[in-house]
Amino acid sequence: MHGKAFAPEYQGDLGSALGVNSSYEEVLTEAGRALSQADTALERARAALALAEANRRLGRVDDARAAWRKSYRSARAAGEAGAMAWALWSGGTLARQCGELRLARRLLAWGVALAADSGERLAHGYALAGLAETGRIQGDYAAVAALHEQLLEQGRAHGEARHMVWAMSGIAQMRRNTGDYAEALELFTECVRISAEAQDARGRAWSLRGVADVLSLRGEAERALTLLSEAETICRAMDLASALAYNHKMRGNVFYRDGRYGAAREMYAIALEEFSAMREPRGVALSRLGLVKSRARLGRDRGETLAELAELEGDFARIGLRGARETVVAFRQELATELSMA
């Protein structure tokens, strides 16, 4: 069982003014007003946390970084360890978004410890979820599989739809990456259902992308594209800049798998521009990989392709993206096999 989705990152008076489906421009406006009217350090910490999250979701990295640090300093001045934990969760999530995975793990682990010490259960769960996602992105499935299951049980125990969707979609992604498409599809579909019932539009958008990915891997390109269009409508309505960019990258993936290399190249170029604007190196590198593969299929010089693949492999190694690096190696081998058979 679960209740309606809620957004505990909006606290104090902001908690009644904003909800899980508030657009991030609206969050910026309300949080800015709250910050200007704050009378206490704790009120400033809460307002700055909301500002940090809105700016992060909009891809405004510098503003997000300044805001989470302000939130942390204000929470520390107020002597509120729980509020400090929320700020560290925000900072760690931003670090992950920026490809700074070691920093992300450090900040999130600190957030987990502070939340545990202060009894701030929700911040503890959010920071743990952040650690789990960071490990999953790095391809460290053995280390985080049990953590995802633990988070799912916690979400179910407290009826928290967002936590259930986060944990379940993480498990689904690991299943997808290890080739268990049937279970991945089942889990992503369940995430879509829970998000819809809990009125969590953001969770629904991310979950639809997961379903579309697996359908595409199973050869159902048109169904996948329809779901991505539905998710894109949600992303645009809520100003979800990062989610929209990942949606466009996934659309490129669907086209590529379907042999529509020109359309794939177009979508990867759009995603690359969006990720570059928000300075998200993981998205930049993944979009570049899609472009390299599409251009290779469209007849690009093999030497240029191999040179860019080598550069990307270095980028993935630096960021710590094990799965993406393996994709580069596999594609290079694919090209070599094709050349030997020519």
Q: Which DSSP state fits 40?
A: S
Contact 106, 89 (CB under 8 A): no
Distance CA 140, CA 114 (A): 24
Q: Answer whether residue 2 shows pLDDT above 70.
A: no
Q: How far is CA 172 from CA 138, 176, 180, in A?
A: 16, 6, 9
Q: How far is CA 110 from CA 104, 165, 170, in A?
A: 10, 24, 22
Strand locations in 68-165 (E): none
The H or E element containing residue 230 is helix 221-237
CB atoms within 10 A of CB 302: 13
Residue with the larger pLDDT of the pair 14 and 5: 14
Q: Mean pLDDT over residues 8-27, rounded?
A: 85
126 token code pair: 């959010």
pTM over 0.85: yes
Instruction: For residue 112, give the amino acid letter.
Output: V
293: confidence class by pLDDT, cuts 50, 70, 90: very high
Task: Quote the pLDDT of residue 143.
Answer: 79
Q: Mean pLDDT over residues 156-168, rounded?
A: 86
Q: What is the mean pLDDT of the chain?
A: 91
Tell me: the pLDDT tens digits for 68-125? Answer: 999 999 999 999 999 999 999 999 999 998 889 999 999 999 999 999 999 998 899 8
The H or E element containing residue 43 is helix 41-57
85 token code pair: 């934990």
Task: Quote the pLDDT of residue 5.
Answer: 62
Rg (CA), the chain: 20
Contact 241, 60 (CB under 8 A): no
